[in-house]
């Protein structure tokens, strides 16, 4: 009996050894993930992206030239560059009568030029003599008054034969209408012909809101 058991044990051991020697390790192939493969292929095909943030394309626009231009009270008018206008009412501190849309006075002056500008809202028909008198600040002289077209606007003006200054002995006073307002302009200059040039310069950039 003992011999039989020993024989059986030997046979079992021998069988186990033979099975171990004769067997081969089976390699398990993982299933292929087709979705992951497609995503990887798509990502590989995408070109490299820039590391910086793209900036919008700048379109240049012309910058308006504000040199020698006064704009306030809903109108603009030209003047020599470096020759600013001042609100006469503010200079005099007339707080109750400061310039507005309805009426006002501006002045500019240097050692070679004086300019006076006034405006008022029309209460009736336009008459250039009214603003010529206001700009001149005295009775109108009997000099010849001319009406001409300056930059598409009829302008009445008079060359002044006398001025309050011996230094600035040439002058001109002018008047025109724009919308519901009337304007008066006056200049004293050092040389003959300069005043009309300044008037042309002023009206070349003049505009009003109405």
Q: What is the pLDDT of residues 20-62, one digit of tens each?
A: 444 444 444 444 445 445 545 544 554 555 555 555 554 454 4
State residue 9's pLDDT score. Answer: 40
pTM, full prediction: 0.66
Which pLDDT score is estimated for 163? 81
Helix (H, G, I), strand (E, B) or coil at 154: strand
Residue among 54, 46, 83 at smallest CA distance from 68: 83
Question: Who contacts 185 (Cβ-Cβ below 8 Å, separation ≥6)?
Answer: 115, 116, 117, 135, 173, 174, 175, 176, 199, 202
What is the dihedral sign for C-alpha 198, 203, 204, 205? positive
- Is the Cβ–Cβ distance between 149 and 167 less than 8 Å? no
Map tokens 């006075």 to a residue: 105
- Backbone φ and ψ for 139, nearest 5 degrees, come out as -65, 145
List domains and CATH numbers for the chain: 69-208 (2.60.120)
Q: What is the pLDDT, as a whole number, of residue 16?
A: 47
- Residue 7 tokens, joined: 């024989």
Rounded CA gap, 61 and 171, in Å? Answer: 40
Stretches in the chain below the pLDDT threshold 50: 1-33, 35-36, 39, 42-43, 46, 58-59, 61-64
Q: What is the rounded distance in angstroms from the CA atom of residue 179 to the CA atom of residue 204?
A: 17
Q: What is the pLDDT of residue 99?
A: 86
Helices (H), the chain: 2-22, 34-45, 88-91, 128-136, 194-204
Coil, strand, or helix at residue 60?
coil
d(CA 11, CA 15): 6
Q: How confident is the model at residue 29, as a pLDDT?
A: 47
């Amino acid at each position: 009996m003992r011999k039989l058991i020993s024989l059986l044990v030997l046979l079992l051991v021998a069988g186990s050894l033979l099975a171990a020697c004769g067997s081969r390790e089976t390699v398990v192939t993982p299933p292929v993930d087709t979705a992951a493969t497609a995503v990887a292929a798509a990502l590989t095909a995408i070109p490299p992206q820039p590391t910086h943030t793209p900036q919008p394309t700048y379109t240049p626009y012309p910058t308006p030239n504000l040199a020698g231009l006064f704009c306030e009270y809903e109108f603009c008018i030209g003047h020599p560059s470096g020759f600013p206008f001042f609100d006469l009412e503010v200079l005099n501190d007339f707080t109750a009568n400061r310039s507005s849309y309805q009426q006002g006075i501006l002045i500019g002056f240097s050692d070679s030029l004086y300019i006076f500008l006034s405006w008022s809202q029309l209460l009736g028909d336009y008459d250039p003599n009214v603003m010529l008198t206001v700009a001149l600040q005295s009775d109108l002289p009997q000099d010849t008054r001319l009406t001409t077209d300056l930059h598409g606007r009829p302008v009445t003006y008079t060359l002044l034969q006398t001025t309050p200054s011996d230094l600035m002995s040439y002058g001109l006073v002018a008047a025109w209408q724009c919308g519901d307002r009337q304007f008066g302009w006056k200049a004293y200059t050092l040389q003959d012909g300069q005043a009309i040039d300044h008037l042309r310069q002023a009206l070349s950039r003049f505009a009003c809101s109405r």
